[in-house]
Amino acid sequence: MSITLTIDGRPVSGRTGETILQVAAENGIRIPTLCHLEGLSGHGSCRLCLVEVAGGGKLLPACVTPIREGMEVITRSERLDRHRRQIIELLLAERNHVCAVCMANGNCELQDLAMEFGVDHLAFPALYPLLPVDSSHARFVLDHNRCILCTRCVRVCAEIEGAHTWDVRNRGIRSLIVVDLDTPWGESTTCTGCGKCVAVCPTGALFEKGRSVGELRQHRPALVALVAGRSTEGA
Amino acid sequence: MQRETLQHLAEERRRYLAGFDHHLLVCAGLGCPGNEEIVAELNRIVKERDLADRVLVRRTGCMGLCALGPLVRAEPDTIVYQGVRSEDADEIITALGREPVARLLLPPDLPFFTRQSKRVLALCGRIDPDNFDDYLAAGGYTAVITALTAMRPAGVTRLIEGSGLRGRGGAGYPTGLKWATVAKAAGERKYLICNADEGDPGAFMDRAILEGTPHAVLEGMIIAAYAVGASSGYIYVRAEYPLAVQRLKRALREAERHNLLGHAICGAGFDLKLEIRLGAGAFVCGEETALIASVEGGRGLPRPRPPYPAERGLHGCPTLINNVETYANIPLIVTRGADWFAGAGTERSRGTKVFALSGKVRYTGLIEVDMGTTLGEIINDIGGGTPDGLALKAVQTGGPSGGCIPADLLDTPVTYEDLGAVGSIMGSGGMIVIDETTCMVDMVRYFMQFCMEESCGKCVPCRVGTVQIHRLLGKFCEHRATPADLETLETLCNLVRETSLCGLGQSAPNPVRSALRFFRQEFLDRMVQPADTPEHNS
Amino acid sequence: MPSTRTDNRSDDHQWTAVDRTMQRHDYRPEALIETLHTAQERYGFLESNTLRRIADRLGVAPSKVLGVATFYNHFRMQPAGEHTLAVCTGTACHVKGNDRILAWVKEHYALAPGETTPDKRLSLVEVRCVGACALAPVIITDGEIIGKKSFAESTTAIREWLDDAA
């Protein structure tokens, strides 16, 4: 069934069950995202895609909010963009994101967003947690210092590959991506070595061995096709 | 369970109870440690003096005045003894029907007792929570029979809507409306959940209700399930309440035994299975969607809303979630009617509310008052004011999601609207009195530390924002904060409030915002000007 | 996926209780938290072996089991000491000075919350509200609630309890 709504003043239409993000994308309206990946279940955790909806008090995440008839959505405003910039700053201050020595330098979604929203300094002190690097796997490396806990790796492994090697341990600021029962990745009994997690990681947290600074490439278009094709969502 | 059976059992129990000259009721709640020894000693002496057919010793739920516990009450003369120890048993029994034991006696006209409006807590402290027949004798389970045999599900929902009952867990959402949404939702299978997670530090209303009148909660759940069409339900109790879990387990067994749960309840063709699920120490699991995730056996991660649990909740099915105190109100509304319920309270905040009064107040404990009672009445009249002659500074309501109301606003009525207007919330009922020895900046840092440690970690603003806010508050506590820090603090509070995924993050900044509004000077006093900082001067 | 079930004859008895909990829920994944509760009651804490067996039996990924076990305050991944001191850090207890008690324990027993002494005698845990706020400040010595005491009385009570238990 067709639903009509407006996004940034533009009348658009979509089908029942579609999200604001999907309809926006279909109409060439870009809403920034980070934890979202088409084909994976929605997480709604990065909060970058929050949009204003007329009549409601709260900001809503476009990636998981279904469209409704007559919805009036605003995707860009001074307030929304200020929130986005601050969220990016919080992320950059949370762990050790040193672009100059990172595999994903120049090819990183977090870096791209920081540039897009004019983050040139941090208003919050960097937390500098002491975090490990797991290079026990034959082909891949996990660097917790670059991880933003978007859980794309968790979701692609559980939902698309079906191995569920990854999950998150602890909670709050102490959350950490974990393999099996906190096993070194190289000793995992569930990992199939498919590399999907590496492919979906938006930053340099997961990368292939043998890559140096700035050499990580994700082949995003091919990835999206793979993920969207394999998933049953939006079918 | 048929009406006649229920009446028969109730009548039998009433006859039994009336057969004694005296009852000695001993508060067996968590707040009165040593009560088991008191009960044992009383029973021993009763037996020794051959008084077993004249004096009945009964364990009950919380009597409310925890500050002066352990409490023992002698009926029918309503003599209340405070600070009782098992050694006092002898004197107490001797005094029955004679002059009460003066050194233990509580004045009968204590405002703590006379100024309350006990409805939900009416039976708490009057019946033995482990005795099914006690609950029946006091009128229990007549509401279930009425609802299931004389009313249609839609009629029950309409009754609750008409009463104006609002969720007692903190959000104050209209209960009847929630029920109607679940009843209307598409889906064959529906669930109901009792949120007994009570994570607010300083709140123990639900604990007392579960320990003191568990059957009232079950009765409310059965009626709710009937109204919305749920056939399966869970009581999610926090692991830190083992006594409440124990009493609930027993109550469930009794209800099942008497055909109030299970198959074809009361012959009305209605099935309901209720189960207890334990929490495991996560404040965030008090949030509805996180609670659902926990019942499903996972990490307590909240989910974006919409969709709301009423439409898609547990296992993707329509789910009704209500708080313990909300359910406990239901049997009363069914039996006494919506008008009776609305007879207490105000137009938009009807009925009564149970509060847990603690902190720097003389009579800490459990109370129930009409909505609309002022904070001053609660703290000064019922609570007895601050001890030690220290000045009252503020009262904190709503736990880590609430705000501090300063002493000069004590005439604020306790309603959802009025508390909201002064920057706080009703919350679940925790009310903490603060005196002049407490620093507000330290207080709000304490609350932020709590939110930071309880944050589930899923969304960025809450996970990282609470850490940054906590750090900033630390700078204020250490007298190292700059004006820029104050600005950053306010910016961060705004960000976390507006962009967090769930209620925990959204309301985490409330204590800070409330303190900045009413106690701003304490923050300013802890600031240094940039020119004073060592870095600037070096 | 290779099964890594390990059979340990000496704790068969404990495992039976854990299995019983899973069975009560038809071995469905949603039984995980209840199962972890039973496992901790029986074994005292949750170690990798136990988690692996539970993961196998319930058909839940090991990483998910670990994620759940480490999410909640209640579950211990290390064995507890012979005695446990729980200090409530709820609001009322905080206002009544329980952070001083924690500082005192740190000074006298070199313990921070969540830690156990090297000789395994004492574990310290922080509990956020047992719901006995009217008894604030509350400390719990091996499950027994001690409330309404002054700082001096509380610290004396702790010292006596530990010496008595020696």
* Burial classification of residue C159, based on how many CB atoms lie within 10 Å of its CB (0-12 exposed, 13-18 middle, 19 or more buried): exposed
C56 touches chain A (CB under 8 A): no
Higher pLDDT, C134 or B309: B309
Judgement on whether residues C161 and C89 belong to the same structural domain of the protein: yes
- % of chain B exceeding 90 in pLDDT: 91
Tens of pLDDT, residue by residue, chain B (538 residues): 789 999 999 999 999 999 999 999 999 988 888 899 999 999 999 999 999 999 999 999 999 999 998 999 999 999 999 999 999 999 999 999 999 999 999 998 899 999 999 999 999 999 999 999 999 999 999 999 999 999 999 999 999 999 999 999 988 999 999 999 999 999 999 999 999 999 999 899 999 999 999 999 999 999 999 999 999 999 999 998 999 999 999 999 999 999 999 998 988 889 999 999 999 999 999 999 999 999 999 999 999 998 999 999 999 999 999 999 999 999 999 999 999 999 999 999 999 999 999 989 999 999 999 999 999 999 999 999 999 888 999 999 999 999 999 999 999 999 999 999 999 999 999 999 999 999 999 999 999 999 999 999 999 999 999 999 999 999 999 999 999 999 999 999 999 999 999 999 999 999 999 999 999 999 999 999 766 555 544 4
In the CATH hierarchy, which fold is given to the domain comprising B139-342?
Rossmann fold (3.40.50)
A134 membership: H or E segment, kind and range: strand A133-134
Domain membership flag for residue C117: yes
CA-based nearest distance A216→chain B, Å: 25
C156 touches chain B (CB under 8 A): no
Ranges of beta strands (E only) in B33-86 are 55-60, 72-75, 79-81
Domain membership flag for residue C77: no
Which of A171, A178, A189 is closest, CB to CB, to C66? A178
Which of B281, B297, B356 is closest, CB to CB, to C32? B297
Which of A167, A189, A190 is closest, CB to CB, to C67? A167
Q: How many CB pairs under 8 A join B and C?
A: 131
Each domain of chain A, given as residue ranges in start order, spans 2-76, 82-230
- % of chain C exceeding 70 in pLDDT: 92
Which of B239, B240, B358 is closest, CB to CB, to C136? B358
CB spacing of C91 vs B356 below 8 angstroms: no
CA-based nearest distance B433→chain C, Å: 9
B484 touches chain C (CB under 8 A): no
Domain containing C63: what range? 9-71
Choosing among 3.30.70.20, 1.20.140.10, 1.10.3720.10, 3.40.190.10, the CATH entry for A82-230 is: 3.30.70.20
Q: Which chains touch A (3 or more CB pairs under 8 A)?
A: B, C
- In the numeric block, the tokens 């983050």 are attached to A119
List B174's β-bridge partners, or say none.
Answer: B166
Domain membership flag for residue C60: yes
Q: Which CATH class is domain B3-109?
A: alpha beta
State CA A98 to chain mean position distance: 19
List B350's β-bridge partners, or say none.
Answer: B345
Residue A145 has pLDDT above 50, yes or no: yes
Are the beta carbons of A151 and A36 closer than 8 angstroms?
Answer: no
pLDDT in tens, A76-116: 999 999 999 999 999 999 999 999 999 999 999 999 999 99
Q: Using a CB-CB distance cutoff of 8 angstroms, which residues of chain B are in contact with residue A173?
A: 452, 455, 457, 463-464, 467
Judgement on whether residues C41 and C93 belong to the same structural domain of the protein: no
pLDDT in tens, A161-192: 999 999 999 999 999 999 999 999 999 999 99
In the CATH hierarchy, which fold is given to the domain comprising A2-76?
Ubiquitin-like (UB roll) (3.10.20)
A77: left (phi over 0), alpha (psi -120 to 50) or beta: beta
Q: What ipTM did this prediction achieve?
A: 0.95
Per CATH, domain B440-530 is 1.10.3080.10: no
CA-based nearest distance C74→chain A, Å: 12
For residue B511, cis peptide bond before it (omega within 30 degrees of 0): no
What CATH number does residue C40 fall under? 1.10.10
Are the beta carbons of B235 and B276 closer than 8 angstroms?
Answer: yes
Q: What are phi and psi of A46, to 5 degrees?
A: -75, -25
List B67's β-bridge partners, or say none.
Answer: none
Query: If DSSP states are collapsed to H, E and C, what string results for B470-498?
Result: HHHHHHHHCCCECHHHHHHHHHHHHHHHH
Single-letter amino acid code for the residue at B275: E
State CA B478 to chain mean position distance: 35
Q: Using a CB-CB distance cutoff of 8 angstroms, which residues of chain C are in contact with residue B443?
A: 95
Per-window interface: A 169-188 vs C, CB < 8 A: 169-171, 178-182
Interface probe, candidates C63, C72, C129, C150, chain B, greatest B C-beta count within 10 A: C129
Q: How many CB pairs under 8 A join A and C?
A: 48
Question: CA C93 to CA C149: how far, in whole Å?
Answer: 11
Residue A46 has pLDDT above 50, yes or no: yes
- % of chain A exceeding 90 in pLDDT: 86
Domain membership flag for residue C3: no
Give pTM, 2 decimals: 0.94
What CATH number does residue C139 fall under? 3.40.30.10
Interface probe, candidates B35, B36, B37, B66, chain C, greatest C C-beta count within 10 A: B66
Each domain of chain B, given as residue ranges in start order, spans 3-109, 139-342, 352-435, 440-530
Judgement on whether residues C93 and C158 belong to the same structural domain of the protein: yes
Interface probe, candidates C26, C33, C51, C148, chain B, greatest B C-beta count within 10 A: C33
Judgement on whether residues C95 and C158 belong to the same structural domain of the protein: yes
Q: Which chains touch B (3 or more CB pairs under 8 A)?
A: A, C
Q: Which CATH class is domain B352-435?
A: alpha beta
Question: Is residue B319 helix, strand or coil?
Answer: strand
